[in-house]
A and B are shown apart, each in its own frame.
Chain A
Amino acid sequence: GAVVSQHPSWVICKSGTSVKIECRSLDFQATTMFWYRQFPKQSLMLMATSNEGSKATYEQGVEKDKFLINHASLTLSTLTVTSAHPEDSSFYICSARPIGLYNEQFFGPGTRLTVL
């Protein structure tokens, strides 16, 4: 149980294009999902907290107009990287917290984004 999927697992795009990444909780419902970014040999940096039915909460320094988050249902959150540039190339990982659980979260497998 508690499986989280991400799609796509990897994507290569041209500079200036937008990329959408999906995060799904497959066997549970999650009102809260988190989006992280991880550069090579670095830690997971929280980008934003996604809450079903309301606006996402972004961490300091994360541009909300560049990283659009939509949490339209209890099992799906999407992250859209708009006008991507090479410096946005990174490993993006989502996590989901089952309804009723505190603190715990289950991670997706990650999406490797490469912007040319």
Chain B
Amino acid sequence: GENVEQHPSTLSVQEGDSAVIKCTYSDSASNYFPWYKQELGKRPQLIIDIRSNVGEKKDQRIAVTLNKTAKHFSLHITETQPEDSAVYFCAASNPRTSYDKVIFGPGTSLSVIP
């Protein structure tokens, strides 16, 4: 089945700097890659997603890039703010699995230092 790896597991950046989180996936048939932000004790929130027919997507300070050949995708957060501190999960969805289930990476704990 699909396996999603994520690095780094923890990341500390100064406010205003950029943060980059990288993920790899194992199943070349996966075609949907969402990123979620989760604050302690709360539900995951979708912050951006990308489908396999595009290589890059941007939404204000957040961007995601996808390299299908290498099977890796990355989250870029620019001009980080303290409220960006949270755990971020990448995920991958394979349409050949039943019900397009989404498999999560292990997560990255991001701390933005004021």
**Contact surface of A with B, Cβ cutoff 8 Å:** 32, 34, 42-46, 49, 51, 57, 91, 93, 97, 102-105, 107-110, 112
> Residue-by-residue, is B43-80 near A (CB-CB < 8 Å gives 1, otherwise 0)?
11110010100000000000000000000000000000
Inter-chain contact count A-B, CB under 8 Å? 55
Given contacts A34-B101, A49-B98, contact A43 B106 (CB under 8 A): yes
Task: Return the chain A residue nearest B4 by Cβ.
Answer: A43
Contacting pair A102 B100 (CB below 8 A): yes
A109 / chain B contacts, CB cutoff of 8 Å: 42-43
**Contact surface of B with A, Cβ cutoff 8 Å:** 32, 34, 41-46, 49, 51, 89, 93, 95, 98-107
Interface-centre pick from B32, B34, B41, B43 (highest chain A CB count, 10 A) = B43
Contacting pair A43 B105 (CB below 8 A): yes
Task: Return the chain B residue nearest A4 by Cβ.
Answer: B43
What are 6 A-B residue pairs whose CB atoms fall within 8 Å in the complex? A34-B99, A42-B106, A49-B99, A51-B99, A57-B99, A109-B42
Contacting pair B99 A110 (CB below 8 A): no
